[in-house]
Copies of this chain bind each other. A is one copy, B any other.
């Protein structure tokens, strides 16, 4: 089934303790679409770039069978540029430069073709804009949304309105605590469900992710890597794997959501092993399935008889 992805495309400069990459492909929509493209050939991208966006990166997105007919190219402005520097532990970072450029005027009109998309993945955007997009979609099977502390702080009411329309919220632990005003993550998830989304995924970085759906809780570890090269885009890559798998299968059962979380986790673990998008630019299906298999070894244990 088709997957509509709305979010940012950027040229990022990234510094980690292991090196620096200059004006490399970034942005939520980029990571989500690329990650999802390994699961379905029906990814539809909506975003905006500037006149400086490299043609080879447009060709790259096309090579992943991503429909880029919703990609606007500004003739007067440059592409969104972010320069970030990660600290030694890779868990914290500072933004050195954030130039919105063309992205500042992002206000997408969804084409007739895209309006009928069955799965919708809203990257981290102003919740008002997310809602405006949703109002244009006919009758989707599932709407997933990401957000961040910045909007919880600065656009709380808009966010609450948007969440009423969302089925699946993917959020990190500190954001879940801030949004729900609950410290305990189980309590936080229950409270956020009351805002609208009936499926909540809380990402905990190196500690993995928690899936809440009905009364079911599922835990996925993060893949224990000795070297994380660059965490940029890990959350979006997770969302792309998750939504790619759901779009491919069209199955919203608890059983299949668990698999989607594992595919998301596997894709994210592959992404952080290299700089920016490089970890997921050219994966084979066997690389993905091998990593999926590693997650099974990491988490599964045998049945035992009564002690």
* Cβ distance A6 to chain B, nearest Cβ, rounded Å: 24
Chain A 222-259 interface mask (CB, 8 Å, partner B; 1/0): 00111110000000000000000100100000010011
Find chain B residues with CB under 8 A from A214 CB.
Answer: none
Please report which residues of chain A, range 40-89, place their CB below 8 angstroms from some CB of chain B when the two chains form the complex: 88-89
Could you tell me if A302 and B207 are in contact, using CB atoms closer than 8 angstroms? no
Report the bound CA distance from A208 to B221 in whole Å: 9
Could you tell me if B259 and A183 are in contact, using CB atoms closer than 8 angstroms? no
* Pick from B186, B216, B259: contact of A301, CB under 8 Å: B259
Asked if A289 is at the interface (CB within 8 A of a chain B CB), the reply is yes
* Cβ distance A300 to chain B, nearest Cβ, rounded Å: 6
Question: Quick one: given A89-B183, A204-B207, A219-B224, are A299 and B300 in contact (CB under 8 Å)?
Answer: yes
Could you tell me if B89 and A304 are in contact, using CB atoms closer than 8 angstroms? no
Find chain B residues with CB under 8 A from A96 CB.
Answer: none
Find chain B residues with CB under 8 A from A226 CB.
Answer: 184, 186-187, 190
Residues of chain A at interface, number, CB under 8 A:
45
Find chain B residues with CB under 8 A from A221 CB.
Answer: 208, 219, 221
Q: What residues of chain A have their CB less than 8 Å away from a CB belonging to chain B?
A: 38-39, 88-89, 183-187, 190, 204, 207-208, 210, 216-219, 221, 224-228, 245, 248, 255, 258-259, 262-263, 285, 288-289, 292, 296-302, 304, 306-307
A selection of 11 A-B contacts at a CB cut-off of 8 Å is A184-B226, A184-B227, A207-B208, A210-B224, A218-B301, A255-B301, A262-B301, A263-B307, A296-B301, A299-B299, A300-B300
